[in-house]
Chains A and B, each alone.
Chain A
Amino acid sequence: MSKEGGGLGRVFVVAGFVFMIYVVFTGALTLVDLIVGFSTAIVVGVLSSDLVVKNSSKAFELRRWVYLLFYTLKYLTVYEFKAHLDVVKRILSPKLPVNPAIVRVPYEVDDEYAVTTIANSITNTPGTVVVDIDVVRKVMYVHWIDAKAVEDFKAREYISEDFEKYATKIFG
């Protein structure tokens, strides 16, 4: 338990999250809720922190949180808008201009939260869906409504380069 970012730090990170969920779900901050929420958070933290968090020291770096906030806003506005606009155009066009294909998209991050961020960012934008992932070869298989490129790294440029850049800064 004495690895870097392990032990008590992990418990603290998990407990903090659980306590936040408790307070938000309960919608009250009475003394009882503080006591019960705190004890629940500690118990869950002790029992599950080794499974949930690998390196807790990352959670205490402000730079990562700033990037997370920035990426969240940029993703929900810019990337989502672009992707929606593109798919709306395809749907409304009478010619139905689709060129679907499943392409292989490599990734380079190691942290599982970073991998999940990239994969969910790809899936959540219309037009691209991650259908499978190979963690040994470090590639995702992405279904793409308009395959502009089928070569691995060319496809990554179109699909996930920006997502990976931010995921590395937040979780990597």
Chain B
Amino acid sequence: MPDLRTFIIALSLITVSAVLGYALITYGLAPVANQDLVKLSRVYLGTVFNKSSVLWGASPEVVTSIIWDYRGLDTVYETTVFFVAVISALTLFRNVKITPSNTGRGVGMTVIVKTVSKIVFIAIPAVAVSITVHGHLTPGGGFQGGSTFSVASLLMISVFSLNLVVARGWSKEKLLSIRTLGLLSVGFVAFSTPLIASLLGLKGYLMQNLEKPWAPVGWPAEVSLASASSILVSGTLIVLNIAEFVAVSAGLSLIFITLSLPTNVLEEGGGVAR
């Protein structure tokens, strides 16, 4: 039987949350930001977001249009950091052999979990690729898409067992090659503009994205396919996103596979003193 004290505490809690909720709905959602634009935003909206400007960033999204030309730099640095991280991790386990015979028994979870995970497993790549390919229109991108994809690897390892993943041919060498392919593509895109520009005797910048009046070599902002209306591909961004997606998917998957190895295999191959 609740006493008077409990009753009063409950009543006051209800009152407080009701008052706070009412205040939040009534006043909290009212606009508080200054509606006038500051000078900096005027400059950006007038140049990179303005289609008639020579500095047009070719993006329908304000934030992306502002950081457009920096995105290439961003991707290259992010790929470099990721490259070093993966290489360091693999160096620690450099002598580890990943073969179907040393990756456990391959039992996995129950048939119920496996069946449900199969459906999720094939849906993840679709979502990951969509995030990647729309990286120039939305807050997604190659890194986000690649990380999403690697969840599929993790799901595979935890639900179906590491043994099945390795037995299906996802070897260390294969994943490393796929990752290297992605990295090489990033490098190719970064050097492509200055290379072609120097061959033509023009000015070009490393990682240059769209063409500029003083540096007229760049990747196309829009591509026309057959009779269809032009498609916004946003210069180097879509290529960098796809290359990054490939590199991150393969790199993260390889790390997950390595870290899921049985302890004795890691100890034997890692050169760790016992």
Interface residues of A (CB under 8 A from B): 14, 17-19, 21-22, 25-26, 30-33, 36-37, 40-41, 43-44, 48, 51-52, 112-113, 115-116, 119-120, 130, 132-133, 135
Contact = CB atoms under 8 A, between A and B. Distances in A.
A22 B122 contact: no
Given A26-B130, A40-B129, A120-B116, A133 B111 contact: yes
B126 A37 contact: yes
15 contacts: A18-B126, A19-B126, A21-B123, A22-B130, A25-B126, A25-B127, A32-B233, A33-B133, A37-B126, A44-B122, A52-B119, A52-B121, A112-B115, A116-B112, A130-B112
A31 B225 contact: yes
A112 B126 contact: no
Interface residues of B, number: 23
Interface of B: 110-112, 114-116, 118-119, 121-123, 125-127, 129-130, 133-134, 168, 225, 228, 231, 233
A48 B231 contact: no
Contacts of B231: 30-32
B122 A18 contact: yes
A127 B131 CA distance: 39
A84 to B, nearest CB: 22
Of B111, B121, B225, most A-chain CB atoms within 10 Å: B111
B137 to A, nearest CB: 10
A112 B111 contact: yes
Contacts of A33: 130, 133
A55 to B, nearest CB: 14
Nearest to A22: B126
Contact of A25 (B115, B121, B122, B130): B130
A40 B126 contact: yes
A41 B112 contact: no
Contacts of B134: 26
A18 B123 contact: yes
Contacts, number: 74
A119 B126 contact: no
A12 to B, nearest CB: 13
A17 B115 contact: no
A102 B127 CA distance: 39
A115 B126 contact: no
Given A116-B111, A120-B116, A18 B125 contact: yes
6 A-B pairs with least C-beta separation = A116-B115, A22-B126, A21-B126, A21-B123, A40-B129, A119-B112
B88 to A, nearest CB: 29
A135 B133 contact: no
A52 B112 CA distance: 13
A41 B116 contact: no
A119 B225 CA distance: 49
Nearest to A130: B112
Contact of A120 (B112, B125, B228, B233): B112
Contacts of B129: 22, 36-37, 40
A170 to B, nearest CB: 13
A33 to B, nearest CB: 8
A36 B238 CA distance: 12
Contacts of B168: 51
A44 B126 contact: yes
Nearest to A35: B225
A156 B129 CA distance: 44
B231 to A, nearest CB: 5
A119 B113 CA distance: 10
Nearest to B137: A28
A63 B191 CA distance: 57
B133 A36 contact: yes
Contacts of B111: 112, 115-116, 133, 135
A112 B112 CA distance: 8
Contacts of B121: 48, 52
A44 B125 CA distance: 7
B110 A48 contact: no
A163 B182 CA distance: 48
A112 B119 CA distance: 12
Nearest to A44: B125
